Chain A
Amino acid sequence: MIDFARVQKELQECSKDIEKSGIKVTPKSDSSLSRLIGTIPGPVGTPYEGGIFQIDISLPDGYPFEPPKMQFTTKVWHPNISSQSGAICLDVLKDQWSPALTLKTALLSVQALLSAPQPDDPQDAVVAQQYLKHYQTFVGTARYWTESFAKSSSLGVEEKVQKLVEMGFPEASVRSTLESVGGDENLALEKLCSG
């Protein structure tokens, strides 16, 4: 049986310092507290900076003795997060979970994971390989994904693609170039022009 009184307290506590932490937890629906949505801002100084990432949270019956299940719903390019499913590889969500932790501290750990990838213990082997072998490409891709999927306000990637295609560049190379420069339209144009 989930300890809902505790979940309630956690939600209250978390909403108190939203300004400071930027971390939000809200119930998915009014009827139940077992499904929640967490939101974390991408850490400053990382390819995730400026992005807002959504995480699907579901509480198992044994919560808080069992860890909350967390999964990114925002697509993210990171060695410890599946680029397909959003599954997160993080010790505190598994055997290092303790009832002394909370949804907020768990989300803080996820946020810290964005700052400090552990490619030696990957969730997504493709991303991890890229991180280890072609670090700059990794940074570019991660930034591009942040631009494309974690930013709702900025100009959408599709619009950038369309703009560049209209200038006469082939779509495939527009996409790969945009990706390689992390979604920056001007850099992509420069690169496309220089051949």
Chain B
Amino acid sequence: MQNQEGLPADGEVESSFSNSDFGEWDTFPDDDIMNQKSLIQSDEADKIPFVGNKEPLSSLATEYQSGSTILLEKIKVLSEQYAAIRRTRGDGNCFYRSFMFSYLEHILMSQDRVEVERIKANVEQCRKTLQSLGYAEFTFEDFFGLFLDQLESVLQGTETSVSHDELLSRSRDQSISDYVVMFFRFVTSGEIRKRSEFFEPFILGLSNGTVEQFCKLSVEPMGEESDHVHITALSDALGVPIRVVYLDRSSCDTGGVSVNHHDFRPTVAGDKPIASSSSGTASPFITLLYRPGHYDILYQK
């Protein structure tokens, strides 16, 4: 090691290691690291639930009050089109959690039974995909079952129907919320593996590993963040278009400030139909706000 005099902190660390010749590791077991990780997570949990309350978009501006003027400008542009934001917890599952709530809320509000039948057919397709990829049924069936239960429950008029408040509290209940997140992770992983030739070039750019490794390391474990690849795969697999609005510092050469967005539109694979918003317009009914490393839900005016 080449510790300089000017770096006393590093020097201290170094000497404590050399004294005991790696013995330190014995008193620093993995359990402690895991415990610390869960402590950090519970700290985070105190700050914001899995899915937050709907807040006016002005709360976003407040957050950046003393920050970048570009961002404040962009938020102003956003507020012309969007009325509200619903934050999700930054635990690495925020994309799936945002998608979950946004989708189920849409069904609850629209009572679009045609859409429910459509997505159920896709879910069945996903189940078959996992089976053909060699996943043991018992590893995923509970997660599939729980998502389908939630889907049924937002349709009104049955004994198991839930209100909007109940949907929110379920989305905050770990024993339901995490199961649905894991359901989406299974669906995403299955889609990527099934179409590995299509996804491979993108994955090589991200991770340097094989498609299979990518799924094992970056899709299936809880808390792994989502990127373009994940969103594309989930959108394709379930046939649900997703709009992602990007709020970052990138400025525009032309002078005027605008906010970029990207619509993930499911490629029509085989005979699978695609979800359309009830109004019949082409714009996706799910809109997420992306800030580097995090997704929240946006509400159109």
Partner-contacting stretch, out of B64-72, B216-224, B238-246: B216-224
Q: B31 to chain A: which residues have CB within 8 Å? A: 69
CB distance from B298 to the nearest CB of A (A): 29
Return the chain A residue nearest B22 by Cβ: A125
Residues from 126 to 158 in B contacting A, C-beta threshold 8 Å: 135-136, 138-140, 142-143
Asked if residues A96 and B140 are in contact (CB atoms below 8 Å), the reply is no
At the interface, yes or no: A65 with Cβ under 8 Å from chain B? yes
**Is A45 close to B, CB under 8 A?**
no
**Which one, A1, A3, A94, A96, contacts B216 given CB within 8 A?**
A96
Contact with B along A1-27 (1 / 0, CB 8 A): 101011001100100000000000000
Is B198 on the interface with A (CB-CB < 8 A)?
no
Residues of A close to B197: CB separation below 8 A: none
- The interface residues of chain B, by DSSP majority, are classed as helix
Indicate the size class of the contact surface on chain A. Answer: 20 to 34
User: Is A95 close to B, CB under 8 A?
Assistant: yes
Stretch at the interface among A35-43, A97-105, A157-165, A179-187: A97-105
Residues of B with C-beta under 8 A to A87: 29-30
Is there contact, CB below 8 Å, between A6 and B221? no
Interface flag for A55 (CB, 8 Å): no
Judged by DSSP, the binding face of A is: loop
CB contact between A13 and one of B30, B138, B142, B175 (< 8 Å): that residue: B138
Q: Which of A5, A96, A102 gathers the greatest number of chain B CB atoms within 10 Å?
A: A96
Q: How far is the CB of A149 from chain B (nearest CB, A)?
A: 21
Contact A99 B34 (CB under 8 A): no
Contacts of B220 in A (CB 8 A): 98-101
Say which residue of B138, B189, B221 sits within 8 Å of A97 (CB atoms).
Answer: B221
Check B186 against A100 for contact (C-beta < 8 Å). yes
Residue of A nearest to B223 (CB): A95
Tell whether A99 pairs with B138 under 8 Å between CB atoms, given A1-B175, A87-B30, A89-B30.
no
| A5 cross-chain contacts in B, Cβ below 8 A | 142
Looking at the complex, which one of A1, A82, A95, A125 makes contact with B221 (CB distance below 8 Å)? A95
Residue from B25, B175, B189 in contact with A100 in the complex, judged by beta carbons closer than 8 Å: B189
- In the assembled complex, the CB of B148 is this many whole angstroms from the nearest CB of chain A, namely 17
Task: Output the nearest chain B residue to A99 by Cβ-Cβ distance.
Answer: B182
Q: Say yes or no for B21: interface residue by CB 8 A criterion.
A: yes
Residues of A within 8 A of B142 (CB): 3, 5-6
A10 to B25, CA, bound (A): 34
> Which chain B residues numbered 211 to 258 have a C-beta less than 8 Å away from chain A?
216-217, 220-222
The CA of A170 and the CA of B103, in the complex, are separated in Å by: 77
Q: Give bound CA distance, A151 to B29, whole Å.
A: 29
Query: Which residues in window 91-121 of A have CB below 8 A to B?
Result: 94-102
**Cα-based distance from A1 to B175 in the complex (angstroms):** 9
Q: Are A100 and B139 in contact (CB under 8 A)?
A: yes
The docked-state distance in angstroms from the alpha carbon of A161 to that of B253 is 82
The contact string, 1 if C-beta is below 8 Å from chain A, for chain B 155-190, is 000000000000000000001001000100110010
Question: Contacts A13-B136, A87-B30, A89-B30 hold; do A99 and B143 have CB atoms under 8 A apart?
Answer: yes
Closest 7 A/B residue pairs (Cβ): A125-B22, A98-B220, A9-B138, A98-B221, A100-B220, A99-B182, A100-B139
Q: 16 A-B Cβ contacts within 8 A?
A: A6-B138, A6-B142, A65-B182, A69-B31, A84-B26, A96-B217, A97-B221, A98-B185, A98-B220, A98-B221, A99-B222, A100-B185, A100-B186, A100-B189, A100-B220, A125-B25
Residues of B within 8 A of A (CB): 21-22, 25-26, 29-31, 34, 135-136, 138-140, 142-143, 175, 178, 182, 185-186, 189, 216-217, 220-222
- In the complex, besides A6-B142, A98-B220, 17 extra interface pairs with C-beta distance below 8 angstroms are A1-B175, A9-B138, A10-B138, A65-B178, A87-B30, A95-B221, A96-B216, A96-B217, A96-B221, A99-B143, A100-B139, A100-B185, A100-B220, A101-B139, A102-B136, A102-B139, A125-B21
- On A, residues with C-beta under 8 Å from B are 1, 3, 5-6, 9-10, 13, 65, 69, 82, 84, 87, 89, 94-102, 125
